[in-house]
């Protein structure tokens, strides 16, 4: 008797989940027949949307960037941590609130001052792994991600910055030319990738080209290896290109007269605005499984055949077919900026082709696993997908006013270091540092 009573709910469960499964399979079947979105019940389109994003991203995104490296920022007057956090650093605001929940952490985070140095390490999918906030060179706070929340500790070991100058001649791949330089042992890939972001190496590098690099390494005084190795200025003299540039406080590289190496960006890759049918969302939950399945792009509800335009100058790195993404394009804009376009009716560019801002690259469609005509548009910065509708986009080609003045002063020092006209120990002292 007891058995019969407990068994009853199980029947219901089987019936319930069985029908759910049936409905889902039907939905997938319908979508594979390119049924227009209007003919599906509203909740079903949400299911399909989630399936589309998940399956495609799990199956496709080929990581093209090295493992994450520490990023850094020196607080400026008027900065607000919450704004920097989300819009500039692309970290989830919820994580900041988690850190503020900790009493000790709150004490430091609520009292940040201009000039203070912040460093953080984020995973490829944008999760904060570690954060360091320096009150001075030898005094800091550190938050580390644990299986449950974050741990907090005070840092007492001195933070040291060392500068290294490397000179070399290209022989084969850049990474190979860096391999016999003991100062950056183990970091060759990071440095090669950094330079690759600024220069069209794959196309224009030739054996015999010469380069000099100024590299900044950060150490904790009691550690045997640096925790961060970063390019801050370079000079490349080659048969097909000659470029000299230095990093500015905004983290971007500019030529000696302040011209940005990264082209200006349009917010959307379309001639006009269309309704956004699905936003960028790292925490989107699958309506059935409840699992977090991020949507790494912005969906624009465009009629089939709408022209897609390159939002910035760049080079096409992919233009191909994928069962979930349909016809899709990836453009590399340099300096860690990449864009992707999915479900296109057709592509009008080829891999390797250079494109200009505003150039027609394809037409929107409904190809691959898609529930209706739309454009799925993604922006990646340094290998991480970010919200293209919120991200701070490069807008100026040349620095102006006070930021130009600041850059000219500081880059002059970096270039003297690069050219060997100043001792690197002296230069390290000139670089902006926490008080």
- Give residues in contact with Zn ion (CB under 5 A): 297, 299, 376
Q: Which residue has the tokens 């790292």?
A: 282
Choice between 218 and 299, CB closer to Zn ion: 299
What's the rounded Cα separation, in Å, for the pair 84 and 90?
8
What's the rounded Cα separation, in Å, for the pair 259 and 205?
22
Task: Provide, rounded to whole angstroms, the least separation between the CB of residue 87 and Zn ion.
Answer: 21
Please give the residue whose beta carbon sits closest to Zn ion in the complex.
376
Spell out a b/e string for 302-336, using b for 16 or more CB atoms within 10 Å of the CB, else e: beeebebbbbbbbbbbbbeebebbbbbbbbbbbbb
Choice between 142 and 299, CB closer to Zn ion: 299
Task: Provide, rounded to whole angstroms, the least separation between the CB of residue 53 and Zn ion.
Answer: 5
What's the rounded Cα separation, in Å, for the pair 435 and 22?
64
What's the rounded Cα separation, in Å, for the pair 357 and 264?
8
Choice between 377 and 407, CB closer to Zn ion: 377
Task: Provide, rounded to whole angstroms, the least separation between the CB of residue 295 and Zn ion.
Answer: 6
Choice between 334 and 372, CB closer to Zn ion: 372
What are the backbone angles phi and psi of residue 404, rounded to the nearest 5°? -65, -45
What are the backbone angles phi and psi of residue 311, rounded to the nearest 5°? -75, -15
230, two tokens: 């970063």
Choice between 253 and 377, CB closer to Zn ion: 377
Partners of 215 in the beta sheet? Answer: 164, 231
Choice between 126 and 297, CB closer to Zn ion: 297
Choice between 258 and 311, CB closer to Zn ion: 311
Task: Provide, rounded to whole angstroms, the least separation between the CB of residue 382 and Zn ion.
Answer: 21
What's the rounded Cα separation, in Å, for the pair 312 and 56?
25
Task: Provide, rounded to whole angstroms, the least separation between the CB of residue 33 and Zn ion.
Answer: 20
Task: Provide, rounded to whole angstroms, the least separation between the CB of residue 278 and Zn ion.
Answer: 5
Task: Provide, rounded to whole angstroms, the least separation between the CB of residue 387 and Zn ion.
Answer: 13
- Cα distances from 68 to residues 27, 86, 131, 233, in angstroms, run 38, 18, 13, 20
Choice between 263 and 385, CB closer to Zn ion: 385
Q: Which residues contact 65 (CB under 8 A, 6 or more apart)?
A: 124, 193, 336, 382, 383
302, two tokens: 């465009």
Three-point CA angle 126, 132, 137, nearest 5°:
150
DSSP 210: E
Task: Provide, rounded to whole angstroms, the least separation between the CB of residue 52 and Zn ion.
Answer: 6
- Cα distances from 5 to residues 12, 18, 93, 198, 353, in angstroms, run 12, 21, 48, 69, 69
Q: Which residues contact 321 (CB under 8 A, 6 or more apart)?
A: 327, 328, 367
Choice between 119 and 299, CB closer to Zn ion: 299
What's the rounded Cα separation, in Å, for the pair 343 and 367?
4
Task: Provide, rounded to whole angstroms, the least separation between the CB of residue 267 and Zn ion.
Answer: 17
Choice between 162 and 322, CB closer to Zn ion: 322
What's the rounded Cα separation, in Å, for the pair 12 and 3?
15
Task: Provide, rounded to whole angstroms, the least separation between the CB of residue 15 and Zn ion.
Answer: 33
């Amino acid at each position: 008797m007891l058995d019969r009573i407990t068994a009853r709910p199980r029947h219901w469960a089987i019936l319930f989940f069985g029908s759910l499964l049936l409905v889902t399979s039907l939905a997938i079947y319908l979508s594979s027949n390119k049924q227009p979105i209007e003919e599906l019940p509203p909740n079903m389109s949400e299911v399909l949307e989630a399936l589309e994003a998940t399956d495609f991203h799990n199956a496709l995104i080929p990581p093209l960037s090295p493992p994450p490296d520490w990023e850094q920022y020196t607080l400026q007057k008027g900065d607000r941590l919450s704004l920097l956090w989300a819009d500039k650093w692309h970290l989830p605001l919820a994580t900041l609130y988690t850190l503020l929940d900790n009493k000790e952490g709150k004490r430091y985070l609520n009292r940040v001052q201009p000039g203070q140095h912040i460093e953080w390490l984020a995973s490829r999918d944008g999760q904060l792994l570690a954060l360091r906030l320096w009150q001075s060179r030898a005094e800091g706070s550190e938050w580390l991600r644990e299986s449950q929340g974050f741990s907090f500790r005070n840092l007492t070991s001195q933070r040291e910055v060392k500068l290294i100058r490397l000179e070399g001649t290209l022989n084969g791949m850049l990474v190979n030319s860096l391999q016999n330089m003991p100062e950056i042992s183990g970091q060759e890939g990071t440095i090669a990738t950094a330079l690759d972001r600024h220069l069209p190496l794959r196309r224009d590098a030739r054996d015999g080209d010469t380069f000099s690099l100024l590299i900044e390494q950060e150490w904790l005084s009691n550690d045997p290896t640096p925790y961060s190795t970063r390019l801050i200025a370079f000079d490349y003299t080659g048969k097909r290109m000659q470029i000299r540039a230095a990093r500015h406080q905004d983290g971007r590289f500019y030529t000696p007269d302040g011209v940005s190496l990264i082209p200006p960006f349009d917010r959307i890759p379309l001639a006009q605005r269309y309704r956004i049918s699905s936003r960028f969302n790292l925490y989107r939950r699958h309506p059935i499984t409840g699992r977090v399945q991020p949507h790494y792009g912005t969906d624009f509800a465009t009629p089939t055949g709408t022209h897609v335009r390159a939002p910035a100058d760049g080079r096409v790195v992919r233009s191909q077919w994928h069962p979930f993404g349909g016809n899709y394009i990836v453009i590399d804009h340099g300096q860690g900026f990449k864009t992707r376009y999915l479900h296109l009716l057709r592509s009008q560019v080829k891999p390797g082709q250079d494109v200009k801002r505003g150039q027609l690259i394809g037409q929107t469609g409904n190809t691959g696993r898609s529930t209706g005509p739309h454009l799925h548009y993604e922006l990646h910065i340094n290998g991480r997908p970010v919200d293209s509708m919120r991200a701070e986009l490069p807008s100026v080609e040349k620095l102006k006013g006070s930021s130009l003045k600041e850059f000219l002063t500081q880059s002059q020092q970096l270039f003297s270091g690069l050219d060997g006209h100043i001792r690197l120990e002296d230069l390290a002292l000139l670089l902006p540092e926490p008080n």
